[in-house]
Structure 1
Amino acid sequence: MVDPITRGSAESDPERPDEGGAGESSGSDGRGRKPRKKRPFWQELPILLVIALVLTILIQQFVAKVFMIPSESMETTLHGCTGCFGDRVVVDRITYDFNDPSPGDVIVFRGPGPWTEHEIAPQEPSNFFAKAFREIGSLVGFAPPDEQDFVKRVVAVGGQTVQCCDPQGRVIVDGRALDEPYIHWTDPNNPVQDSFAPVTVPQGSLWVMGDNRNDSCDSRCQGGGGVPGTVPVDDVIGKARFIVLPPSRWGGVSDYDAQDSATPVALGAPVWQRGIPMGVGTALSVPTLFLGRRTREALRRKWKRR
């Protein structure tokens, strides 16, 4: 007769094999499973590249994107001279999800209708591989993006009135002359800005200008200038933050607000207003002359009677 305690101990002992030999380990981990073989690196590399590409697209779509500066309009803040390696800048796409652009911000934006109606759209490559390389290159700033984008500095925002210039040749916003240390003069011996009439920026729009003030077609000339030259806030892609290429120009992008140090300026009245006193004087001269003659004649008659 078998002792129940001894029997139970024997059946529950993991070290004792059962009758079928199942107690022997069929794998190195002692749980009956074979260890998984590790893939060779050359098989994992395509997967890593796909993951990296997907993450890059998501980051550039929603967080930050690299843009290439294609023109000289923002010299010398951003380098884009003809025949040279233009700056590649990282554009912050999150900031303006929480607030609107402010004066002094350097922004990248999609060209509004009045800015692009006469522009020639970028030519699409016909070759599939060329198109793919262009798409990938645009993600990291080595090729221009398909959309027609611009980079300028915000000078005035919705509700403000901007014009040029005061006697010292400075841009005026809401009656205050701006101190703009970032301006680049193509001809330092002739630092004169082109004048333009007062423009009240519509709410939800921006007045933008290039730092290379005399070599930039911006709100002053796009769409014929004036209100059509303003940029809707909805067209803003993001704020330029850092220069990442070339290495010699690594650094942040200045967002100096010239309105903080602006000084009040006395503006001359428009020509038609300056002519009001002369018109009034001319209109009153006739009755004044007539009354003067009548008064003199009356006085002469009075003296003759005496």
Structure 2
Amino acid sequence: MSGTPTERERPQRSGWRFVRDLAIIVVVALLASFLVKAYLVRAFSIPSGSMERTLLVGDRILVNELVPGVVPLRRGDVVVFRDPGGWLRADQGDDLVKRVVGLPGDTVSCCDDRGRLSVNGHAVDEPYVVRAPGSDRVAAEDFSVRVPAGRIWVMGDNRYDSADSRVHGTVPSDDVVGRAFVVTWPVDHWSVLGRYAHEWDRVPDAR
């Protein structure tokens, strides 16, 4: 009958449709991958020992850039942020990585009679912190600070070798690039970066 494809035409058309669909899938996948890398996830390398033992020098991490623009910051998050000014030398780049200890309005103090950090009067057990030999304190110095609006208080996990908010002050929330969520390299360091929610979620909100 006129207009009816022959047996030879059918497989040819099916073959072209398959190639066309495959090409579309590949293009969409590449575009999605580019958009994810460009706008949602970025990779960073750890330049110093200030976050040991959580992060070691040379570790590669992936950072979720939806934080804090879409997803809010939370206490305990490991974040990458741009140098607010004066934290780094010119040859050290522009980005730093620390742990969020205080949110806007929080009162952060150290240390209680067991050497622990307190936030809004609640002492936090921090198993990730490197302590000095023979000391139970998570930081060498006593301090108490209220975090201003629009800013965060950050500290390294290796607090005896970390120039953080105790030295440079609070960080503007707008300077946060994103939240680190996984160590990708080297392979033997691969791990998911948690925020120890079972500890930090017990901290009461600021009054």
The TM-score, its normalising length taken from structure 1, stands at: 0.53
- 2:133 maps to what in 1? 188
Q: Which runs of 5+ in 2 are unaligned?
A: 3-7, 10-15, 17-25
TM-superposition CA deviations, 1:255-276 (whole Å, max 9, x none): 114444569xxxxxxxxxxxxx
Pick from 252, 256, 260: which aligns with 2:196? 256
- 2:107 maps to what in 1? 161
Asked if the contact 1:158–1:204 (Cα under 8 Å) also holds between the matched residues in 2, the reply is: yes
Q: Does 1:110 align with 2:82?
A: yes
Pick from 52, 55, 60: which aligns with 1:78? 55
> How far 1:79 sits from its partner (Å)?
1.5
Asked if the contact 1:179–1:262 (Cα under 8 Å) also holds between the matched residues in 2, the reply is: no
Aligned residues: 187
Amino acid at match of 1:66: A
Pick from 51, 65, 69: which aligns with 1:93? 65
- 1:120 maps to what in 2? 90
Judging changes above 3 Å, is the alpha-carbon distance between structure 1 residues 203 and 62 closer, same or farther for their aligned structure 2 residues?
Answer: same
Structure holding more strand per residue: 2
Structure 1: 4+ residue segments shifted above 4 A? 54-57
Q: How far apart are the structure 2 equivalents of 1:209 and 1:68?
A: 18
Structure holding more helix per residue: 1
Asked if the contact 1:196–1:220 (Cα under 8 Å) also holds between the matched residues in 2, the reply is: no
> How far 1:216 sits from its partner (Å)?
0.7
Q: Which runs of 5+ in 1 are unaligned?
A: 1-12, 15-27, 30-35, 37-47, 81-85, 123-146, 223-228, 264-306
Report SS of the residue matched to 2:61: strand
- 1:302 maps to what in 2? none
Q: How far apart are the structure 1 equivalents of 2:45 and 2:62?
A: 9
Tell which has more relative contact order, 1 or 2 (C-alpha 8 A, sep 6+).
2
> How far 1:156 sits from its partner (Å)?
0.8
> How far 1:93 sits from its partner (Å)?
1.1
Asked if the contact 1:100–1:233 (Cα under 8 Å) also holds between the matched residues in 2, the reply is: no
Pick from 113, 117, 120: which aligns with 1:171? 117
> How far 1:114 sits from its partner (Å)?
4.0
Asked if the contact 1:96–1:238 (Cα under 8 Å) also holds between the matched residues in 2, the reply is: yes
- 2:36 maps to what in 1? 59
> How far 1:194 sits from its partner (Å)?
1.9
Amino acid at match of 1:188: P
The TM-score, its normalising length taken from structure 2, stands at: 0.77
Asked if the contact 2:114–2:136 (Cα under 8 Å) also holds between the matched residues in 1, the reply is: no
Q: Does 1:230 align with 2:174?
A: no
Pick from 130, 142, 151: which aligns with 1:205? 151
> How far 1:239 sits from its partner (Å)?
0.8
Asked if the contact 2:120–2:203 (Cα under 8 Å) also holds between the matched residues in 1, the reply is: no
Asked if the contact 1:77–1:254 (Cα under 8 Å) also holds between the matched residues in 2, the reply is: no
Amino acid at match of 2:195: D
